[in-house]
Amino acid sequence: MVGYSRLMVEDEAGTLAALRAHREELIAPKIVEHEGRIVKLMGDGLLAEFPSAVEAVRCAVEIQHTMGERNADLPEERRITYRIGINIGDIVVEDDDIYGDGVNVAARLESLAEPNGICVARNVFNQVKDKLDLTIDHLGEREVKNIAEPVTIYRVVLDDKAAALVTPVVREAAKGVRQRWAIAAAAAVVFFIAVGGAFWWQPWEPAVEPASMERMAFPLPDKPSIAVLPFANMSGDPEQEYFADGMAEDLITDLSKISGLFVIARNSSFSYKGQQVKVRQVAEELGVRYVLEGSVRRAGDQIRINAQLIDATTGGHLWANRYDRDFSDIFKLQDDVIEDIVSALAVELTDKEKAGRNTRDQTDNLQAHEYLLRGRQHLERFTAKDTAKAKALFEKTIEINPKHTQALTALGRLYYNEWEIWGKARDKNLARALELGQKAVAVDDTLAGPHLLLSQVHRFLRQKTESNVELNKALALDPKDADTLAGLGDALRWSGRPQEAIGLLQTAMRLDPFYPAWYEFYLGDALFQIGQYEEAITALKRGAERNPNYPAFPLFIAASYAMLGREEEAGAAAAEVLRINPRFTLKAYAAHVPYINEEDLERKLTAFRTAGLPE
C-alpha cells in the first residue's frame, strides 16, 4: 500500500488515530449527507452504497477535496491519501452486506486511481455527465483481473469546478441511525475507498488465481475443507513468533473439533511457514477448498489479528476481518474468529458442539497460556535441548493452573517419550506419564489425547486390560486430530487390531498430507500383520525414503521380504538394520515391544531370524 506500511512502522498508534479521525469527521458524515450507507469497514478502506450515481460522485469529490485541505499543513511523509472507485452494477444482498461483480469492479477502479484520485465506470459517467459540472477525462478501456470484459475508465479531475461542489461537513448527520434504502433490481451505486489506493485485504473480490480441480492431489471431501496457514508475525519482534504460531495452532485445534468441517493438520499447514506461497498451490497440494491466512501484531498487551478466508476454487474472498483486542481477551478473540469462520461456511454445529463452545476453559491464567505457547514452540523442534525447555515451560504452566489439560497431556507425552524415544529411565518416566495422564482425565474425560496417553503407558507397563480400556475410550470420543488418529493406529497395531489401525492411519494421512515418516511405519506394520506383505514393503519404503536412518523401516522390510520367501532382499534389508544399529538383537527387541498378542511377536521374530538378524 502506498506509504501505509511506512506510516504504520513509524507511528502505528498515530496512523490509526488519523484514519479514525478522517472517517468520523469527514468520510462517514459525507456519505450519510449524500444518502449513502457504509456497508463495511475493512482494514484501511470501506465499501459504501448509494441510491444515486450523482450523489456518490459528489460525495467522492467532497471527500478528496477536503482531504487535500486536511493534509495541507502536514509534512508530505505524514499525509494520508485515498483512492476512490465508483461503479453501478448488479450486486448480491445478504443481510447488511453486498458483494458480486458490481462491487468487484468498484474495487478494481479504486486500484487504478491515482492517490487522492477518483475513477468511475462508464455507466457512472453516463449518469453524471449532464448533471454535474465536472471535468472528467476518458482513460480508455482496461483489462482488469477476474473481470471478463474490459472496463472503460474515467477520471474525475479535482479542479476549480470540483471545488465549487464542496460544502461544509455536517457531522451530526452521521450520528443518526439510517434505515437501509431498498435496492431496485438488485443494482446499486458502489463506492470503494482505500488508503493510498490499496486495501489491506479486499474480501469481496477474487484476488487469487483459482485452484484447478484437475490438479487437486486428493478429491475434495464431502464437507467444507479448510487449511489454516501459519499466521505472519507482524510485531517486528522475532520473539513473538511463538504467539503467531500459537494463534494458528489453536484455530486448527478448535476447528478440527467441529464435525461438519474437514481440517488439515498443523504439520501440513505449517510446512508452508516462511514461504511466499499461493493459495492455489496450497489448495491443490492439500486437497481443500478453503484456505485461511492471517497475521498477528502484538505490542505489549494490545493484539491485532487480521484474517481472511479464501475459496480457492473461485479465487474469491469469502470473509475477512480485523480484530483489535487486549491480550486479556485472547480466548474470546479465538472464539470470535471460529464463530466467524463457521458462519461464513454455513456449518451447522451439533448440540454438543454448541455446548462445547460455551464450556471452553476460560480459567487459564494468561501467564500460563504464554508458557504453554512457548512450550509448544520448543516441542515442535524435537531436539533434546528444546524438549528440556518445553518440559520446563509445561511444568510452569501446571504450577499456575494445575487443571490445564493441554499442559498436563503435553507434559505426560514428554515423559512417555523420554522412555519410548529417548530411552531414558523407563520406570520413573512411565510412572510420571501415568500420573499426568490420570490428572488430565480427571479434569476432562471428554478428550481423546489423555486417554490415548494412558493406553500407551499401560501397554508398556504390560497392563493389557487397562491399556485396552483407555484405547476404547479414546476411540469412542471420535477424535479428528491427525496425530491422535495416528497414535490410535499405533496402539491398535500393538493390540492385535491391525485392520482398524489401517483405517485410522489412512484417515490421519489424508488430514495431514505431509505426514511424518513414522505414519508409514505404523501402516507398514499393520499391513504386515494382516499378511499384505507387498503393500507393507511399499509403505515402509516410502517412509525409508524420507527417514533413511530410522532402523524400524529396514527391519520391517526385512521381515516382509522374509515372509514372501525373498531371502536375498530380506538379507539386504537386515544388513541395513545392522548398519544403522550394530547392537540390534532379537532378545532386545522382544524385551522392548508391548504386543498384546504373543503370537504377533513370535511371527515377527521368526521373520527376523529368516532374514538373518542376530539373536
**What average pLDDT does the segment 553-573 reach?**
95
CATH number at residue 381: 1.25.40.10
Where does a domain end: 325, 349, 373? 349
Question: Residues 183, 225: one domain?
Answer: no
**Residue of 126, 35, 117 lying closest to 87 (CA atoms):** 126
Average pLDDT over residues 180-206: 51
Residues 280 and 162 in one domain: no
The verdict on residue 355 lying in a domain is no
Residue 255 has pLDDT above 90, yes or no: yes
Q: Looking at the domain assignment, is residue 441 inside a domain?
A: yes
Read off the pLDDT of each residue in 319-330 and give the average, rounded to a whole number: 82
In a domain, 62, yes or no: yes
Choose among 34, 66, 39, 40: nearest CA to 53: 34
Q: How many domains does the chain have?
A: 4
Q: Are residues 372 and 338 in the same domain?
A: no
Span 214-247, pLDDT tens digits: 999 999 999 999 999 999 887 777 878 888 898 9
Residue 345 has a pLDDT of 86
How many Å apart are CA 508 and CA 50, to the nearest integer?
Answer: 51
DSSP state of 145: T
C-alpha to C-alpha distance for 587 and 593, rounded to whole angstroms: 10
Q: What phi-psi label fits residue 220: left (phi over 0), alpha (psi between -120 and 50 degrees) or beta? A: beta
Using the predicted structure, report yes or no on whether residue 78 has a pLDDT greater than 90: no
Amino acid at 520: E
Whether residue 415 is contained in a domain is answered as yes
pLDDT at position 95 over 90 = no
pLDDT band at 332 (very low <50, low <70, confident <90, very high): confident
356 belongs to a structural domain? no
344 and 366 assigned to the same domain:
no
Query: Cα dist. 534→530, 547, 591 in Å?
Result: 11, 20, 28
pLDDT in tens, 150-163: 888 999 999 999 99
Final residue in a domain of this structure, among 295, 319, 349: 349
Provide the domain limits for residue 237. Answer: 213-349
Q: Return the C-alpha cell found at 270.
A: 505449517
* Assigned domain for 202 exists: no
- pLDDT for 423 equals 60
DSSP element (H, E) containing 305: strand 302-311
Residue 183 has pLDDT above 50, yes or no: no
Are residue 44 and residue 112 in the same domain, yes or no? yes
Cβ atoms 319, 302 nearer than 8 A: no
Residues 374 and 335 in one domain: no
User: Is residue 505 in a domain?
Assistant: no
Question: Same structural domain for residues 218 and 301?
Answer: yes
Look at residue 99 and give its three-state secondary structure. Answer: strand
Question: Residue 155 maps to which CATH number?
Answer: 3.30.70.1230
437 plus 318 within the same structural domain: no
Average per-residue pLDDT for the chain: 85
Residues 28 and 171 in one domain: yes
Same domain? 44 vs 148? yes
User: What is the arithmetic mean of pLDDT over 474-499?
Assistant: 91
Of the pLDDT bands very low, low, confident and very high (cuts 50, 70, 90), residue 362 is very low
Range 526-552 average pLDDT: 93
Tell me which of 382 and 189 has the higher pLDDT: 189
Do 365 and 295 belong together in one domain?
no
Looking at the domain assignment, is residue 495 inside a domain? no
Domain boundary among 168, 195, 222: 195
- Residue-wise DSSP of 286-297: HT-SEEEEEEEE
What tens digit of pLDDT does each residue of 119-146 get? 999 999 988 998 999 999 998 888 766 6
Block residue for cell numbers 513414522? 518
- Identity at 142, one-letter amino acid code: R
Q: What is the pLDDT of residue 206?
A: 42
What's the pLDDT score for residue 502? 97
Q: Residue 236 is part of a domain; what is its CATH number?
A: 3.40.50.10610
Is residue 297 located within the same domain as residue 322?
yes
Q: Which residues pair with 102 in a beta bridge?
A: none
